[in-house]
Structure 1
Amino acid sequence: MEETITNLLDTYFTTEEEFADCFVVDITHSNKRLEVFVDSDSAMTFGKCQRISRYLEGYLDEEKPLGEEYMLNVSSPGVDRPLKFYRQYLKNIGRTLEVTSTDGETYTGQLKAATPTEIVLEAKRRIKEGKRKKTVVEDITLAHDAIKKSIVKISFKS
């Protein structure tokens, strides 16, 4: 089911100019419930999600892979959903991320750069210098395949 919906949307995104920068982030389904998370390189608006939902409803109503009655939710991935793709990292340069590496280390810092193979975080770290501790700022480079999970941290400080 996920592969079918992804292929359907990929075709839709390449044929509809308004959706040319959109991409599927995740699809979950169980029984009669289908959730589709879509992002874009530009702003992912409610209107875009609504039009994508209507497009999918046409397929679901005609082909009936979930039966007569189903629940469909199309949305952008919220800040609580992990970043999965390079394109998402690009959109979040300058924001604070909490990154858990595959070896269990957790880093929190500002995303400075992203390439197709790695990211660079500017993170603060406490080190012991003599009898005192001091905070140092360092750049941490992590390969994408060394990242288990990356979450955007929202700050409410002004």
Structure 2
Amino acid sequence: MEEKITNLLETYFATEAEFQDCFVVDINHSNKKLEVFVDSDSAMTFAKCQRISRYLEGYLDEQKPLGEEYVLDVSSPGVDRPLKFYRQYLKNVGRTLEVTTTDGETYTGQLKEASPSEIVLEAKMRVQEGKRKKTVVEDIRIANDAIKKSIVKISF
């Protein structure tokens, strides 16, 4: 089901000018409920989500893969959802991320750079200098394949 919806949306995004910078982030499907998370290189607006939802409703009503009654939720991934794609990292350059690596290390810092192979975080670190601890700012390079989870941290 997830693959069918992804392919359907990718075709839709490719043919509709308004959606050419959109992409599917995640799809959750259980029983009669379908959650679709879509992001965009530009702004992901409520109106875009609404149009995508209506497009999917047309398919679901006609083909009935979930039966007669279903719940459809189309939204952009919230800040609590992990970043999954390089495109999402590009969009969040300048924001604070909490990154957990595959070896269990956790780093928090401002995302300075994102490339297809790695990200660079500017992080404040406490280091021992003689008998005292000192705060220094360091660039931490993390290979994309070493990232287990990245979350955007919102500060108020």
Q: TM-score with structure 1 length normalisation?
A: 0.98
The Cα of 1:122 is off from its aligned counterpart by: 0.3
Structure 1: which 5+ runs fail to align? none
Q: What's the offset of the Cα at 1:94?
A: 0.2
Amino acid at match of 2:108: T
Counterpart of 2:74 in structure 1 is 74
Measured after TM superposition, the shift of residue 151 of structure 1 is: 0.2
* 1:85-104 deviations in Å (ceiling 9; x for gaps): 00000000000000000000
Secondary structure in structure 2 of the residue aligned to 1:78:
coil
C-alpha displacement of 1:60: 0.2
Q: What pairs with 1:7-156 in structure 2 (closer than 5 Å)?
A: 7-156=7-156
CA deviation map 1:104-144 (0-9, x unaligned): 00000000000011100000110111110001110001111
Deviations 1:15-41 (Å, cap 9, x if unpaired)?
Answer: 000000000000001000000000000
Flag structure 2 segments of 5+ consecutive residues without an equivalent: none
Q: Report % sequence identity.
A: 86
Q: CA deviation at 1:48?
A: 0.0
TM normalised by structure 2 equals 1.00
CA distance in 1, matches of 2:89, 2:132: 36
Aligned length: 156
Structure 1 residue ranges, 4+ long, deviating more than 3 angstroms after superposition? none
